[in-house]
Amino acid sequence: MALYYLLIDAAFFAEQARPALAASWRQRSFEPCRALCRAVVPRATAFAVQFHLGTEQSLVAQVADGLPFDRVFWQHLVGEVLWFGALDIPELPTAADTLERLIAPDALAVENAGRAQWLPIQQVHHGSRDVLLGGYYRPDCAGWNDRADLNRLAGFLDAVRTDLWRPEQLVGAEGIPAEDRAEELEYARDCLAALRELYHRAEEKHCILVCETL
């Protein structure tokens, strides 16, 4: 499974996407979010062209055109609004399991707790809060960090001392034989550097960050 990070303008999320989608869920109607969908349709079209998604009409376009409410469609609509509404979805090298092993060896002990109780490196990868917009959007696979979370977690990432990492910390790590441990450490350092840049960029651009596993 792959991790994706969606940089979404904080004002767009707070003032347009979140209220409209929450009202849609509460009212069991797509009427409150048709204007939102009309605003997102051009982004959906551009996204389809960029990633060669074919000519099938997006769900945001169908809702904008009057599609009746459906609970399953609502969840898919949330996903399209987040993905098509994102300012950027950067391609990052990821090594979540390795970084958690190096930075927080006890991470497994809290993985069944709520996101708010997760350790910082887990929140960096998977979000500090559920994507709750009236209803839940993929609660086991998607989370998000608000601007306060971004500031807190950027500070956490900056403080990590990668120079103290040693190959023996990866003893017992699944899929990493002894001869590959030093190389895996270097890859993990690159991944951490990419995360630091991502969190600072999200802060600078006044974004929130959605973290989704697909």
| 35-88 pLDDT, tens digit each | 999 999 999 988 888 776 767 899 999 999 999 999 999 999 999 999 999 999
In whole angstroms, how far apart are CA 129 and each of 3, 17, 56, 124? 16, 17, 33, 11
Ordered structural domains, the chain, with CATH: 3-213 (3.40.1760.10)
Q: Supply the pTM of this predicted model.
A: 0.91
| 142-167 pLDDT, tens digit each | 999 999 999 999 999 999 999 999 99
d(CA 108, CA 128) in angstroms, rounded, equals 16
Which distant-in-sequence residues (6+ apart) come within 8 Å of 46 by Cβ?
none
d(CA 187, CA 159) in angstroms, rounded, equals 18
Q: What is the mean pLDDT of residues 182-207?
A: 97
Q: How many CA atoms lie within 13 A of 162 on its CB side?
A: 17
Average pLDDT, the chain: 93
| 63-75 pLDDT, tens digit each | 999 999 999 999 9
